Structure 1
C-alpha cells in the first residue's frame, strides 16, 4: 500500500514542540489535519493549533504491515519523532 506522509510540527500546551508525521492512504491535507487533531485530542493537547502551516505534505512511500493495519483500522497512523509522548 502506498501511503502519504504529512510532516507536522505542533506547539504543546507547555510550549515545547512536538514533531510527528501523519500517515494516510489518501493524499488529502484536510483529512491529515483532522487526523492530527484527533490524535492530539487523544493525548490531551486539545488546544494545539494544526493548520496547513503546521502540517504539510512531504512525500509518498510504501508502508510496512503494522502501519497499513493501523490505517485500515483508524484511517491514519502517527509516526512520533521529537517531543511526543510515549505510548
Structure 2
C-alpha cells in the first residue's frame, strides 16, 4: 500500500512543539479528513495543544507502507509516527 505522509507540527500548552507524521492511504486527499485523524490522535494526549490546520499539517511525500502501518490504517484509517515532544 502506498501512503501519503503529512508532516505535522502542533504547539503544546507548555510551549513545546510536537512533531508527528500522519500516514493515510495515498488516495485519501481530503484535508479535513486528515486533520480529523490528527485531532483524534491529539485527543489521546494528557496535555493540551493548539488547533490543527493546514498551517501545521502539510503533505510531505508518498512512501510504501510497512505491515504495521497497513494494519493500523485498516483498523482506524491512519497511522501516526511520533517524532518530537509527543509524550
Q: Same fold (TM over 0.5)?
A: yes
Aligned structure 1 segments of 4 or more residues deviating by more than 4 angstroms:
none
The question of whether the paired residues in 2 share the 8 Å contact of 1:10 and 1:49 is answered with yes
Deviates more, 1:19-28 or 1:62-71: 19-28
3-state SS of the aligned residue for 1:59?
strand
What is the SS of the residue equivalent to 2:38? Answer: helix
* Alignment-derived partner of residue 12 in structure 1: 12
Counterpart pick for 1:53 among 55, 73, 79: 55
Unaligned 5+ residue runs, structure 1? none
After TM superposition, give the deviation of residue 63 of structure 1 in Å.
0.5
TM-score (norm 2): 0.90
Query: Partners in 1 of 2:54 and 2:19 — Cα distance?
Result: 14
What is the alpha-carbon distance in structure 2 between the residues aligned to residue 5 and residue 77 of structure 1?
A: 10
1:27 aligns with 2:33: no
The root-mean-square deviation of aligned C-alpha atoms, in Å, is 1.2
TM-score scaled by structure 1? 0.90
- Distance in 2 between residues matched to 1:46 and 1:68, nearest whole Å: 29
